[in-house]
Every structure is written in C-alpha cells, then in structure tokens.
Amino acid sequence: MKAVFSPGDKVKVRAAEVATHCRTPHYLRGKRGVVTRVFGAYPNPEQLAYHRLGVPYQPLYQIEFDYQEVWGRSEHATVITADIFQHWLERDR
C-alpha cells in the first residue's frame, strides 16, 4: 500500500475500538498529531498475530503528539512520539 502522508502532515488517530491484537495504544486514539517520519510499509500486525500474511503491508509513520493534546493538561516542552500504521490515521482538516 502506498504512503499517503508526508512529514509535516496533520493527522488524527482513529478512535476505533478493536477487540483483537493491535499496535495502536489506547492513550493515543482520537488524538491529533503531526507526521515526523515515514518508515516504509510493514506487515499488518493485526493479521500477523493470527497467522495471516499481513497484506496489504501498511505504511508506518512516526507521529509527534503535543503533551497537552494527549493528556489534556499542559506540561512544559514535552512531546510524545509513537509509530502508527496508516490504516489508523486520517487526515486532520
């Protein structure tokens, strides 16, 4: 699958609930961030966990989140980054 986001793009992590294995932490779901790196595509871990091939491979991005966006209170000069697969991201505005 082709990477649709580039560094600098504003994105939002999908606020979905899944009952099965997934690598998108709960604390970042629904949060807005900015793409900082594009890492290439990797097998989808949600399929790998169940002995499937993980196709289509999902582009992986490093996303930067402001502390306040994540926790709802300000913290001086603090940023959180996490690596999120494309199918968990939507364009923000």
Partner 1 sequence: MSADHHHPHHGHDGGHDPHAPVNEAHGVAPESALLERALRELLIEKNVFSADDLRRQIELTESRTPELGAKVVAHAWCDPQYKARLLAEAKPAIEGFLGIDLNLTPELTVVENTPARHHVICCTLCSCYPRAVLGIPPAWYKSPEYRARVVREPRAVLAEFGTRLPDGVEIRVVDSTADMRYIVLPLQPAGTERLSEKELVNLVTRDSMIGVSVLSAPRR
The interface mask with partner 1, positions 55-84, x = CB under 8 A, is -----x-x-x-----xx---xxxxxxxxxx
Closer to partner 1 by CB, 1 or 78: give it. Answer: 78
**Residue 39 contacts partner 1 per CB under 8 A:** yes
Residues 54 and 17: their CA atoms lie apart, in Å, by: 19
- Smallest gap from Cβ 91 to partner 1, in A, equals 20
Residues 33 and 80: their CA atoms lie apart, in Å, by: 10
**Residue 51 contacts partner 1 per CB under 8 A:** no
- Smallest gap from Cβ 45 to partner 1, in A, equals 7
Does residue 83 contact residue 62 with C-beta atoms inside 8 Å? yes
25: which 2 tokens?
Answer: 């932490």
Residues 73 and 69: their CA atoms lie apart, in Å, by: 8
Whether the link from the prior residue into 59 is cis, omega within 30° of 0, is no
Question: Which spans of this chain sit near partner 1 (rule: CB under 8 A)?
Answer: 23-25, 27, 37, 39, 42, 45, 60, 62, 64, 70-71, 75-85
